[in-house]
A and B are shown apart, each in its own frame.
Chain A
Amino acid sequence: MAPFGMPWTTFSAFLVLGGTILLAIVWAALDKLRESDDRENAQ
């Protein structure tokens, strides 16, 4: 059983939500890094 006595198939909706927030943060960080690399290469 998942937290709150939910089945994992239902609770996983919250995990997907958490994963999505993480995805957005990681994508934004990688995008910034890629831009910095591009700028350095251009110089």
Chain B
Amino acid sequence: MMIYVAVLVVYLGILAVIGMVMSSRSKSAGDFAIGGRSVGPWVTALSFVAAYYSSVVIIGGGAFGWRFGLSTLWVGAGNVLIGTTLAWIVLGRRIRRFTANLDAMTLPGFFAGRYGSESSRIFSAAATGLFLIIYNVSVLKGMANAFEVLMDLPYWAGVVISGVVILFYTAVGGYLAVVWTSMVQALVMIAALVLLTFMSLQHIGGMGELVTRLNAIDPGLVNTPGIWGWAGLISFTLIVSLGTWGMPQLIVRFYSIKDAKMLRVGTVVVTLGASIALLPYLTGAVARVLVPELDSADQAIPALTQLVLNDWGGALFLAGVVAAGMSTFAGVLIIISSSMVRDVWIHGLRRTMTPAAELKANRIMSLAVGVISLLIALRPPALVLVLTAFSWAVIASTNLWPLLFGVYWKRTSPRATLWSMILGVSAALIWFVWPKIGALPSLPATWAGVHGFVVGTAVGLVVIVVGSLIGRPATDTAVQKSWHGTTGTGS
């Protein structure tokens, strides 16, 4: 126990110090929201990995590996190829250029500039903000559960310890503190996952032995799609991979990088870092052999940790899980606060603010949103937990197509963009609540397995394409400014 406490105190202390150091570099709202577009490629890339993989991915990924076996490795491979490398190649350079041309600090701000549409700004800010809070509650809950299992701490103590440290460094240091702490957290996560994978494979006798023993339990744990089936495997891989293309806490990494050229180094670094995505699924499969009797699949990774790691290793792993959760929570907190202040308060409600007042408002808003998330996480109502699984789908349905088409297709219509957001989110929500309303007829069995993300993004795609073909594109001024900037030089 003392070892766990010592490792965590040192680790959380380092994060707090980074927050204090970075507070002196956060002098404006631009510094607070996007680090003044001054972040280097290594920090950008590793902080992307840390924000992408939350504690939910480590614990939940392990649970999937335990339940469905080695076919889940494809989810990790999808995270690296689609969710990371292609996102950087396809979106990175253009988003960096467009947001600099438009002087946009938030994703809703980008929509407003690119399409000349304040309605798109407000809708995106409201939908994203609301569902990101729900997502944040689940992240906080995941961290508290890890404290509970690995340190025997009460749930509330886990929520308070993680929440207070994150709130401190985020409110004080802003985006720069978030990315620098995230870089440290990514390194801790990578070390923890590599250690757990190495030790668990050694414990079981290597990969060959793992495959043999999984085959003996059920060949479906080794084959692809195995016991999961194609529908589940493909739709889950798409949700957690393509979904990242519309997640503002990840997209913001492209705005904040110092120079578009740095995306080259960043793309290689982020791909290597993101490769750890396969490890929770692999270790989950190892856990199926080594700890087959569990009350819940979510216990697979903590139980494996206790079996194969000593106290120092266990403490490092707990730090890794906490790191994964903290970096995601902090990244989301910055997005919500800057979006609420800039997009809703200043532009939506037309309030004027001095730069100093905006920075102060960002700090207060990040504290307020963080405290609200923390209070909900202390006793999460059932609705929050149900909606958590859905928050990713709603946010992606809102932002994915308007963002992708916005940087590639000049003809994209502002009105089609807004309706793509509204109808995409509505379709996803209706799909989600339909089976829960008894009075409605049941969906056919083959359709019922399709996730709301697929429905929401499919509807959004049709609406934006058809609507743009028959509707009016954005004004020439908005298009020229987006593509070439006011000076015509771009960045």
Contact = CB atoms under 8 A, between A and B. Distances in A.
B211 A4 contact: yes
B161 interface: no
Interface in A1-43: 3-7, 9-10, 12-14, 16-17, 19-21, 23-25, 27-28, 31-32, 35
Interface in B332-350: none
B80 A20 contact: yes
| Range for the number of chain B residues in contact with chain A | 20 to 34
Given A5-B212, A7-B222, A35 B261 contact: yes
B223 A10 contact: yes
Given A4-B207, A17-B278, A25-B268, A10 B77 contact: no
B194 to A, nearest CB: 15
B57 to A, nearest CB: 16
A21 to B, nearest CB: 5
Nearest to B71: A10
A4 B208 contact: yes
A21 B208 contact: no
B47 interface: no
B89 interface: yes
Given A10-B73, A17-B81, A17-B278, 18 more contacts: A3-B207, A4-B208, A5-B208, A5-B211, A6-B211, A9-B223, A13-B76, A13-B278, A16-B77, A17-B77, A17-B80, A17-B275, A21-B271, A23-B85, A24-B272, A27-B267, A28-B265, A31-B264
B70 interface: yes
A22 to B, nearest CB: 9
Contacts of A32: 264
15 contacts: A3-B207, A4-B211, A10-B70, A13-B76, A13-B224, A14-B73, A17-B81, A17-B275, A17-B278, A20-B85, A23-B271, A24-B88, A27-B89, A28-B268, A31-B264
B224 A9 contact: yes
B74 interface: yes
A9 B3 CA distance: 42
Contacts of A10: 70-71, 73, 222-224, 226
Determine chain A's interface SS by DSSP, over half rule: helix
Determine chain B's interface SS by DSSP, over half rule: helix
Interface in B179-199: none
A7 B77 contact: no
Contacts of A13: 73-74, 76-77, 224, 278
Nearest to A9: B224
Contacts of B264: 27-28, 31-32
A24 to B, nearest CB: 4
A12 B225 CA distance: 12
Nearest to A22: B271
Contacts of B71: 10
A17 B273 CA distance: 12
Nearest to A30: B264
B268 to A, nearest CB: 5
A23 to B, nearest CB: 6
Nearest to B274: A20
Contacts of B76: 13, 17
Nearest to B265: A28
Nearest to A28: B264
A31 to B, nearest CB: 5
Contacts of B210: 4
A14 B265 CA distance: 23
A6 B265 contact: no
Nearest to A32: B264
B208 A20 contact: no
Interface in B55-76: 70-71, 73-74, 76
A14 B275 CA distance: 10
Interface in B241-283: 261, 264-265, 267-268, 270-272, 275, 278
Interface string B71-101: 1011011001100010011000000000000
